[in-house]
Structure 1
Amino acid sequence: MKHWTREGDRVVAVLDRQEAAVLRGMVGQVKDMLMARGSEMPQDELSALTGIRTAPATPPDDPILGRLLPDFFRLDPDAPDPQEVDSAGALRSVHEPQLIDLKTGVAAVVLDTCPSQGGLVRLTLEQSESWLSALNDVRLALGTALDVTEDMPDELPVEDPRSAHLGVYHWLTFVQESLVEAMMSSLPEDGEPDRDA
């Protein structure tokens, strides 16, 4: 794939078949993980009556899901305050369902607009925002699985089992950064889109 480009109020790129398959596969996996977590939401009569959904008060055991659905404020891992633990659980219980909806929603936009066989991708700016969010989630998930750190080299030795996957991580970074650049390319100084572009 080459860089995304801006065409008026649209952002455009061409993905080859393999790129589309990788992107759709990874976005689909993240979406499935989030939906599985969503299926763990407690079902009770109060939820049915009020329509208010609640999530488990405890964070996910899976480190990837834990990265995608972090606590709403950071606890001291060495000496967590019991009151803060209760507050964190209450916040998670109330807000996690909406966060899952948001993340699965942006993933659905990518799956709806990314051609399965590759080809032209033409996004509105709203769809582009969804792509950015979904790409960020995929990068977080893959980065957690690969244990990516700031001091990790751009390339790993061939014998390292993470080597090929790190290339995918860097490619996703390029796709995301290129999309941001394209979205910003026609913004004048006042921040409003240039409708004549």
Structure 2
Amino acid sequence: MPGHFEPIPGGGAAVALDEVEISIIRSLAVQLLELIGPGPAENAPDDPLAELFAEGPSEPPSDPVLQRLFPDAYSGPDVEAHSPEQAEEQRAHSSEFRRFTENDLRAGKRENALTVIRCLDGLTSGEGGAVLKLSADESEQWLRALNDLRLAIGSRLDVVDEEDTDLLYRLPDEDPRKPMVMAYLWLGGLQETLVETLMP
């Protein structure tokens, strides 16, 4: 079980983590929460309906990591516009789609990251670490959070395709990106074994 998820009865998953691994995942999840930011109505607790009817932003975020986490729905590198009018129409559709969906997407990503933090905070670790046991629902949230963490780190490392990932393996140890690369690859291994664990 060390370093990879294994299935447990009831549809959940378990993985052995040492104290350093626990600390790294928790720190990354906290940073992801800070990057995503608070919800639109978190400053208005007296109005429980405020978040339900709050409209989201209509423009894409300026941070490249947030652009990767919240991409445009109708434009981007994979969507080709054949005319300026078509490009403008795509931007308008993307803007409208973002306005009505981004708040929910952010709330979901926040909840996934919070689940990771709560699960890690609930561990009783001994000298060698602890065994993290996740329910089926928690496993799904962990899977989505691990994906978000890898997207965020990959964005900072300028990873766009598989070829970029191959180059990361060949970075010299003295490269300042090396610790981030190691975290990216390690999280990828965790994510892969969790996917395998959850497959029927």
Q: Please say whether Structure 1 and Structure 2 have the same fold, judged by a TM-score greater than 0.5.
A: yes
Find the aligned partners of 1:6 and 1:21 in 2 and give their Cα distance.
23
- What is the aligned partner in structure 2 of residue 121 from structure 1? 132
Q: Percent identity?
A: 31
The correspondence of residues 1-197 of structure 1 with structure 2, limited to 5 A, is 1-9=2-10, 10-36=12-38, 38-39=39-40, 51-75=52-76, 76=80, 79=84, 81-115=87-121, 118-148=129-159, 149-152=161-164, 153=167, 154-184=169-199, 187=200
Offset of 1:83 from its aligned partner? Answer: 2.2
Which runs of no fewer than 5 residues in structure 2 stay unpaired?
none
TM-score normalised according to structure 2 size: 0.80
Find the aligned partners of 1:174 and 1:120 in 2 and give their Cα distance.
17
Which runs of no fewer than 5 residues in structure 1 stay unpaired?
188-197
Q: Does the 8 Å CA contact 1:15/1:121 hold for their aligned counterparts? A: yes
Find the aligned partners of 2:117 and 2:90 in 1 and give their Cα distance.
38
Change in 2 beyond 3 A, CA 1:121/1:88: same
Change in 2 beyond 3 A, CA 1:68/1:86: same
Look up the SS of the partner of 1:66 in the other structure: helix
Moved over 6 A (4+): none
**Higher deviation after alignment, 73-82 or 94-103:** 73-82
Q: Does the 8 Å CA contact 1:67/1:141 hold for their aligned counterparts? A: yes
Offset of 1:162 from its aligned partner? Answer: 1.3
